[in-house]
Amino acid sequence: MYAASLYDDAAKHYQDALATPMLESPSRLRITEKLAYALYFGENPKAAEPLFERLLNAYLRSPLNVAKAIEMYSQLASQLLIDAKAEASLPLLQRSVELANENGDERLRSVANIRMARALINLDRFEEAERYILELRNPQRISDLELRSMYYHIRGNIDAAFGRKSQAYENFEQAIESAKGSGKFYQITPTWQHYAHWAGVLGDIRLAKSCLEQAMIVARRGNTTWHTSFLILAYAGVLFPMGRFEDAHEYLREALARDVGTASLEALFAVVGIPLALQVHDEKALIACADYRTIEKAFQSGQPAYIGAIAAAFAQLYAIRKEYRKAGMLLRRALEYVHSANESLTFSVAVARWGALSDIPRARILLERRMQLPHAAVFQAHLALFDAYVARRQRNWADTHTFAADAVERFDALEWHGYADSARSMLPASSIMPKPVRYEGKALANFTDVLTEREQRVAELILRGLTNRQIATELLISVHTVDSHVASIMNRLGLRSRYQLAQVTSKI
């Protein structure tokens, strides 16, 4: 088990302080706020909600505390987000916008509009979000670095959703720099997280992986308990399409061991954990991740991204258990909520595999629409895989092989090797396309000009069958350091998975 969160320790001290007799009202409010934030960043963020509600009511009673009231509205909206109730957060944020407009303070209006836009993005309502952001014509005039970071963060999400890659990346970088300047680490990690998501969607999975590594470093240093678990799961979710199943499995196990519960985490456990546990045949992890209550929570959230991804994950589980009718019904229900392929990359392909045949055209349209925007390589690859699965269901073997071969080539080019392998499995043995290995035929002893001494040692332990965690124990280094060494080995040797290391050294 990991060390207890510093925030949980701090919360105990604040609780003790509040128990002090004769504590004056301003001090009590200040300590209550500190306690609320300590709980929010700790193991049980839900416990902070009644405190934020109490603070909101107190601040609303004083005209001098409008800024604090707006902050509490935003924080209560955040509580709903981590509880997977994004739609329910909008009235709170709308009230904060109205309060800011009534007050007339330009900064407060900026704060309220930016936070409203952020909530709309969580609901994949990007055009509405952009309308709130467009009111801030000159972001360089925003002197508050935290607020400027939030602005660029929102702009990055909006640009990415419309395929404006260079603008999106520039805005995310600006958001991170502004957050660093403000010293608000909790603003940095969600920016890295969203940067990673969109980098993957826009075809740069290595950048996505790098962004999540940066986010995990910041979150671990800040000891934000539930958010660290979220990022660990997100990282496993990036390793999975890359075909790095064993490494992804280790991160899934770490997240499960942390024993932190929020609705958003439960959703990500389902999205990442179910396909991964099925891939590596980990029944224990599958049981832990497949909480069927998550399905209804997803629909209650109103978030298309959650709904589509969770429906796809559970549809796969139903199909594995030969409950095809359940899979089809769940996907049909989700199809009423998912309106864009951006919202869930896995959803359309899930419909192609397990959905009702009558739903396939609607699911295909999601991919076709996104392909009309720039930087659509990931969606083109998914469409090829989609068509291969449909052709296979129709027993049209010629088209199955044609589309599958196209999908293999496209996914391998994107380094989505796990998905390429799925497409490759639909090809006849005589025509299976070789997996890309650029550096073959050298004995490990001959890698001294390519690998460092420590990397050679890590490679030897990989060949002995040790996991990254076991390698860390053997070499007395952190798992994160091992991850970095393994990634470097893969990059230097041009490999896509640790399993290929054995192929490279097989000619010793």
Q: Helix, strand or coil for residue 223?
A: coil
pLDDT in tens, 292-321: 999 999 998 888 999 999 999 999 999 999
Nearest-angstrom CA–CA distance, 94 and 96: 5
One-character DSSP codes across 136-156:
---GGG---HHHHHHHHHHHH
Residue 452 has φ and ψ, to the nearest 5°, of -75, 170
Nearest-angstrom CA–CA distance, 36 and 166: 38
Predicted confidence at residue 439, as pLDDT, reads 41
Nearest-angstrom CA–CA distance, 219 and 217: 6
Sequence-ordered alpha helix ranges (H) in 41-164: 49-60, 66-82, 86-103, 106-122, 126-134, 145-161
Predicted confidence at residue 376, as pLDDT, reads 97
Report how far Cα 92 is from the mean position of its chain's Cα atoms. 25
> Are 172 and 149 contacting, i.e. CB atoms less than 8 angstroms apart?
no
What's the average pLDDT block by block, 10 residues per block, for the chain (508 residues)?
62 89 84 90 85 93 90 90 82 94 87 90 90 75 81 95 96 93 81 96 95 88 76 95 92 86 86 96 96 93 92 98 97 95 91 97 96 96 98 96 96 94 88 49 55 82 79 78 81 69 56
Residue 68's nearest CA partner among 117, 98, 111, 10 is: 111
Predicted confidence at residue 332, as pLDDT, reads 98
Q: Helix, strand or coil for residue 244?
A: coil
pLDDT in tens, 56-114: 999 999 888 999 999 999 999 988 887 778 888 999 999 999 999 999 888 888 889 99
Spell out the domain ranges in the chain: 331-431, 444-504
Buried b / exposed e along 374-394 (16+ C-beta atoms within 10 A): ebbebbbbbbbbbbbbbbbee
> Structurally, what CATH architecture does the domain formed by 444-504 represent?
Orthogonal Bundle (1.10)
Predicted confidence at residue 196, as pLDDT, reads 97
Buried b / exposed e along 409-431 (16+ C-beta atoms within 10 A): ebbbebbbbbbbbbbbebbeeee
Structure tokens at 504: 């490279």
Structure tokens at 266: 């439960």
Sequence-ordered alpha helix ranges (H) in 162-280: 165-182, 185-201, 205-222, 225-239, 245-257, 263-268, 274-280
Token look-up 């399409």 returns 241
How many CA atoms are closer than 13 Å to the CA of 389, on its beta-carbon side?
Answer: 21
Predicted confidence at residue 475, as pLDDT, reads 81
Predicted confidence at residue 473, as pLDDT, reads 80
The vertex-387 CA angle with 383 and 388, nearest 5°, equals: 115
Judge residue 57's burial from the number of C-beta atoms within 10 Å of its C-beta, 0-12 exposed, 13-18 middle, 19 or more buried.
exposed
Per-residue H/E/C for 428-452: CHHHCCCCCCCCCCCCHHHHCCCCC
pTM to 2 decimals?
A: 0.75
Residue 432's nearest CA partner among 405, 399, 400, 395 is: 405
Predicted confidence at residue 442, as pLDDT, reads 45
Nearest-angstrom CA–CA distance, 456 and 479: 17
Q: Which amino acid is at 278?
A: L
Nearest-angstrom CA–CA distance, 484 and 247: 12
Residue 333 has φ and ψ, to the nearest 5°, of -60, -45
Report how far Cα 69 is from the mean position of its chain's Cα atoms. 30
